[in-house]
Structure formats: C-alpha cells, structure tokens
Structure 1
C-alpha cells in the first residue's frame, strides 16, 4: 500500500503489534520479507507505520508468524482501513494538541473504559463550565479561541457514553477530586450533580474513594484504560505535563489492570458513591 504520511494512533498501534508478533515468532525482518518475496524495507516500513496495511496482508503476516489467536488476528484486521478515515475529531486536527485527538480515537474504538482520577474529574463526565475552568488554568495561558476549541472537543468526546450503543464506563474518583471547586461554588455544585445523574445510566458506574479510606493503591495517578476487542489490544492513556502518553506493552497493561482492581476495592459501592457525591454537592 502507499506510504502513510501521518498515521493515526490506531495505525501506529497496529504497526507495533505486527512487530511484536514477528519478534515473538523469532522471525527476523529479512526472513519475513523473504517469505513474502519482498524487500526488507517493506517490513520495516510496516512496523514503523510508514506503510499502510490491508486486512489481507495482516492475515498473511499473522499466518507467517504462526499466531494461533484467531480473535487477536480478527482484532488486528479490524484496525486496517483508510489511511485517514473521516471522523468527527478531524475538524479539530491542527487546532488542538494531537494528543487530545489520539485520546478521542482510542476512546472511540474501546469496548469498555475504566478510569481513575485523584485530583481532576474524568473528562468524559465534565460539564461545559467545569471543563472551561480547567482549560483557563493551562500554562502558558490559552487564548479564548483555544479554550473554547478544547471545551467543544471535550464535550464531543462524551458522545460515546450516550446513544444507542453507549460504551460501558467505570470511573474511580477520589474524594479530593470531588472537593476541588473549579469555577466556584455554583459550577462545582452543578458538576457534582451532573456526576451523580450520569452514574444512574446503565452503562456508567462511578466509584468514590473517600478520605476515610486512608492510603490506597494508585494514589496520585490519573489512568484511562481502554479495552480492545481482545486483551492484547487494550490501551492505557496517562496524563503528563507533556501531554497524553500511551502504553500498550503486555506487562504494563497487566499491571494497570491490577492497579485499577485494587483501587476499586478501596472505593465505596456504586450506590454509596452516588449518595456521597450528592451529599458533597448539597453542602456547597
């Protein structure tokens, strides 16, 4: 296929998974290329996401690498397609940081999302006023247009939680995040009530870790865990001072799954969490 000038996060992930399959099979780049009757640069370009992949080529390479996991191969095949398919987030490309765009893509394709927040509330559940207050605190300071673009993009991301086939979502939130009054009392109260109302949706579960829980695993971390069609294609997104950072290696993914499991054990039940959120809102 033709070279891809600007691969998406999804296509870069496909490329890294094809490299992982080859390395697990103990096959060199030269051997893979020779088996296909091609030059080694073709395999190198595929694994660097410089060249696109068709579904047929993915299955051909998976067979060559002896991958026995048919569900994984199907998942990889589903990640192929147009070099730049049209999605709603394309209108924000070049207007907001690329990391924000990539988070949209990861969330869009996730089969389930788990997140843990200890200072900020989950972006997928923020009100417009709360999100605006957050972006107005960005350093260096953003222009009014930049703030409004990021707010609009954040609100658009939230569509995955509504509609005819909403994405299952589990949010773990520490009490500290619930008590941060970004935008003032009125904005904070409205935001908390919005959280409580959202938790009543069938696909949304919110779990609160109260101060009374004491110390807990994952303190201080912000984690978004997006599940793929198979566990090998899960993705973790971490917020850093330099922007979004993505993790997809098997061992770190397993560690983050365990971490979120432990954080859930420290949290109140879904019903108690909802009432806890409403109780804080009533005192504002």
Structure 2
C-alpha cells in the first residue's frame, strides 16, 4: 500500500490549491485548462502525486501567479521528496511527530514560546523522560523510550556542524522554576539552557512573573519560518494532539503575537542572569 504523503508533500499540495483558488478556478476548470484529468489535480493538491519543478511553473503560469519568489520556493520543495531519519520511527511514534521533525529539518529558523515547560529542543534526556511519564493517557515504558529517543534526535537541528538552525526560545519563569523530576534534574536542565544559550544560533529569553499578563500567556507556540513568509508554519501542542496552521491570517496573527511576547521578555544577557538566580534558589 502506498504510504501517506509527508507533511511537507501535503503542504506543497496545499499551496498549489491556494494558488488555484486565488485564480478563481475550480479543480475541474483547472484540469480542463491544463489538459489533465480532474483527479490528477486533486492528487497533486493532496500531496499524493509527485510534482516536478516544471509542473509547478506551468501551474503558476496558468494560474497567473505573479509571485516569482513564492513559485521558486515551491519548485525547490519538489526537488526533495526523500524521506528523512524520522521515517524509521513511523510505527513507533504518532505521525504528527514525524511531520514536526520534517518541519524542523527544513525550517529556515525556529521560534518558540512556552509557559509551563522547557521547549522540547532544549530539554535534557532526564527532563524529557519525566514529561513523558506524566502523559495522559499513561504511556507504556517502551513508548516512553521511543518518544524520548525521537525527541533527542529532533534536537540535531541545533547541533549540525554546517548551518545549524537559528532558534529563539522564550520561556516563562513558571517553566524555569518547576522542579520537573526533582531539584537535581531541574538544576541540570537549567545548566543545559545556559550552555545552549552560549551558541551563536540559539537565543534564549525569559519572561518573569513580574511581567504580569501578556498576549499568548496561556499557550505554547512554535513558529517555523519557511524560505518565504507564505510557507511559514505555526505548530500548537494541544491536549488532543499537535495542530499545524498555515493560513495567511493565522500566520500574521502568530507573527504579531510573538513580537508582543518578545517585547515583555528579558534580553538574552538578563535571561542568563535570571537563570543563575533560579538555580541558586533551587
């Protein structure tokens, strides 16, 4: 049985659908215009059918898309249909986690804001294990280890020798002070944050309790920047599972939200000083 499209393949198809809809064409009208069957249009837009760079350019021409930068970014997406390391874990973790790892792998930069937990890309092994142990529904021990291994492998985007992914993390004081796994694990986690913040491509900012209420304080938000703004993606970790958003209005909303969250956060230097303070008080 043919495997389901990856998140990246589905996103390419989604962008082709958006391009067609902006042209005011139905899938049937598009098929007639292109001289192909309607189900071929549907399969392309669902990510079930491979699309060549030339086909993307032809679609853009027929759909009268004027955005040459976007079209070129879409053609680059067609050249890489190879499945990454995360595919080895397809039967071990939820498929949404595979999509998340693929999204991180291809992102131009990443930006996250959390209130109650340290971001996954910055978690130590012991901290992450404790988080998985607290999952509802309770995970069997083998599943805990599979998810733990998967999370650690995802962190490779920050350790690549060539072109590590730029990452900005905004973490609330509540997450910094929460003794996940006990004082020893919490202290090691804070030390790891300090070490990661020394890396040129990692920016760490803290929001203290003194900042009071601020926009987005009730949720964890993860923003992946694509090669052009239209190909950005928002990831939300909800109690019922992962959610990926890419509608233009949603992207604008979360870009604005991140800017407002950053405005109440400490700068990187003061953040490091604050983490040292929290460590002394553990």
Give the structure-1-normalised TM-score.
0.96
**Structure 2: any 5+ residue segments left out of the alignment?**
none
Asked if 2 retains the 8 angstrom alpha-carbon contact of 1:189 and 1:282, the reply is: no
1:129 aligned to which of 113, 123, 126: 126
Give CA-to-partner distance per residue, 1:43-80, whole Å, 9 cap, x none: 12212223221222111101111111111111111212
Residue 62 of structure 1 contacts residue 73 of structure 1 at CA under 8 Å; is this kept in 2?
yes
Matched, 1:138 2:116: no
Task: Give the aligned partner of residue 250 of structure 1.
Answer: 248
Compute the RMSD of aligned alpha carbons. Answer: 1.3
Residue 275 of structure 1 corresponds to 273
Q: Does 1:105 align with 2:102?
A: yes
| Aligned-partner Cα distance in 2 for 1:267–1:4 | 47
String of CA shifts for 1:137-175, please: whole Å, max 9, x gaps: 112221221111111111111111122211111111110
Distance 2:135 2:53 in 1: 42
Give the aligned length: 281
The Cα offsets for residues 79-136 of structure 1, whole Å up to 9 and x where unpaired, read as 12465x2311111111011111111011111001010101111000000000000001
1:96 aligned onto 2:93: yes
Alignment of 1:80-229 (within 5 A): 80-81=78-79, 85-162=82-159, 163-229=161-227
For residues 22 and 87 of structure 1, what CA distance do their matches in structure 2 show?
A: 29
Query: Structure 1 regions of 5+ residues with no counterpart?
Result: none
1:14 lines up with 2:12 in the alignment: yes
Structure 2 CA distance, aligned partners of 1:278 and 1:54?
52
- Relative to the length of structure 2, the TM-score reads 0.96
